Structures are given as structure tokens and as C-alpha cells.
């Protein structure tokens, strides 16, 4: 019973964070550019920063890739309360089925979300899955990050996972979209995507006074 209550407690806590924090948005022109592609687009963000997006992107017409672990089940239920869809799968479990489902969502010109370093790391290293999907579908990858001035860092977790706290200064930053064409060097594209994600993550931290 206690485990069943976790998503509701998480939803309520994130709501409190959002209600008591001031949020600054940067790079909205990049989101507009991705949306204008007419192919759907792929939100891409580091696993470490995912919590606050369940507030800032509530009701978003998007589906996020979530692992099939027990923790993933809690995350999916929390997202459901926020009217954000989930596609269950990872590189180790149901990878092909999840990829087909994500491609189908993109074909409907909707958005999806992927943490390219999740669910187990290495932290801030881009795995190939998001690049293959972008190459196959032609959908642009839209880097996004966030930061809050008050947070807890889980130092023993593989990515020093961030738990935001109420009464924060917050920032959400979009980066320049990235396209992956047939014949592109995926290692080079991974390097560029990492560079853009790291840059906007650093910028988000700077905007809230964490750098």
C-alpha cells in the first residue's frame, strides 16, 4: 500500500516545488524550430534532471521512454498523474518493441522524450539508441535541461540524481535541435549532442546561481 502511494506523494511534492518556485525559460526559439519540422521531435535530457520536467511539462503531448524496472513503474505512474505518457522499455528489456512504439508516436507528429544516458549510465554519455531513432524517423532531437537553486544531490547514485526543493529559482533551457541523416557518423553526432546537453545544463545552473 505504501508503494502504491509513492506516485501520489511524488506528484504532490513536485507540484509544491513548481507552485513555490520562479521559473525562467530560455531557448524557446529552438523548441519552435523543432516543432516546425512537421515530423514530431525527440526531447533529450540527462537522467539526473528529469524530476522537475514532470511539473514544467505537465499535459505535454509527449511520451517518455521509461525503464521496465520497479522504479520505472513508479515513475510511469507519476508521469500519468501529470498527463505525460510513458513507453516502457530500455536497452536491456523490450528495446525493439519500445523503439517501434516511439517511432509510431513520431509518425503521428507527436513528441517523445529520452534520457540518452539512462537508465544506468554512464552519466552524461550519449548512447546510440536516440541517434538511431532520429536517423530512422527523420525527427529532430531537441536538447533540454533544467536547474533549481535548492536541491538535494543523491551522491551515491550513478548520476548524482537531483531532487529539487521548494522555494527555488528555476530555469528550463532548450538547445539547438540536432538532425541525424542517413550516412552521418553517429559517434560524431553523439559528441555534438553531449556537447549541447552539457552546455545548456551548465547554462541552467548559471541562471539559478549554481555555477
Contacts of 119 (CB under 8 A, 6+ apart): 47, 67, 69, 72, 90
pLDDT of residue 134: 97
pLDDT of residue 1: 67
| Structural domain boundaries enclosing 177 | 2-207
What pLDDT tens digit does each residue of the chain (211 aa) get? Answer: 677 899 999 999 999 999 999 999 999 999 999 999 888 999 999 999 999 999 999 999 899 999 888 878 889 999 999 999 999 886 556 678 889 999 999 999 999 999 999 888 999 999 999 999 999 999 999 999 999 999 999 999 999 999 999 999 999 999 999 999 999 999 999 999 999 999 999 999 999 999 7
Rg (CA), the chain: 16
The CATH number covering residue 165 comes to 3.40.1130.10
Is 0.85 surpassed by the pTM of this model?
A: yes
> Alpha-carbon dihedral of residues 169, 23, 153, 78, nearest 10 degrees?
140
pLDDT of residue 175: 98
| C-alpha–C-alpha distance, residues 87 and 80, integer Å | 11
Q: How many domains does the chain have?
A: 1
CA 10 to chain centroid: 17
| C-alpha–C-alpha distance, residues 198 and 200, integer Å | 6
Contacts of 126 (CB under 8 A, 6+ apart): 116, 117, 190, 191, 193, 194, 197
pLDDT of residue 93: 61
Amino acid at each position: 500500500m505504501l508503494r502504491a502511494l509513492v506516485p501520489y506523494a511524488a506528484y504532490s511534492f513536485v507540484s509544491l516545488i513548481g507552485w513555490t518556485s520562479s521559473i525562467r525559460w530560455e531557448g524557446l526559439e529552438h523548441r519552435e524550430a523543432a516543432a516546425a519540422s512537421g515530423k514530431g521531435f525527440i526531447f533529450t535530457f540527462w537522467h539526473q534532471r528529469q524530476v522537475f520536467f514532470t511539473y514544467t511539462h505537465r499535459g505535454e503531448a509527449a511520451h517518455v521512454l521509461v525503464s521496465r524496472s520497479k522504479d520505472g513503474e513508479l515513475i510511469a505512474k507519476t508521469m500519468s498523474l501529470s498527463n505525460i505518457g510513458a513507453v516502457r522499455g530500455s536497452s536491456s528489456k523490450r528495446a525493439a518493441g519500445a523503439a517501434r512504439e516511439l517511432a509510431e508516436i513520431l509518425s503521428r507528429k507527436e513528441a517523445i522524450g529520452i534520457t540518452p544516458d539512462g537508465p544506468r549510465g554512464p552519466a552524461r554519455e550519449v548512447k546510440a539508441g536516440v541517434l538511431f531513432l532520429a536517423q530512422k524517423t527523420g525527427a529532430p532531437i531537441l536538447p533540454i535541461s533544467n536547474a533549481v537553486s535548492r536541491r538535494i544531490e543523491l551522491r551515491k547514485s550513478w548520476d548524482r540524481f537531483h531532487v529539487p526543493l521548494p522555494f527555488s529559482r528555476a530555469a528550463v533551457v532548450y538547445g539547438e535541435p540536432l538532425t541525424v541523416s542517413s550516412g552521418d557518423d553517429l559517434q560524431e553526432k553523439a559528441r555534438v549532442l553531449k556537447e549541447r546537453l552539457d552546455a545548456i545544463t551548465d547554462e541552467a545552473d548559471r541562471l539559478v546561481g549554481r555555477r
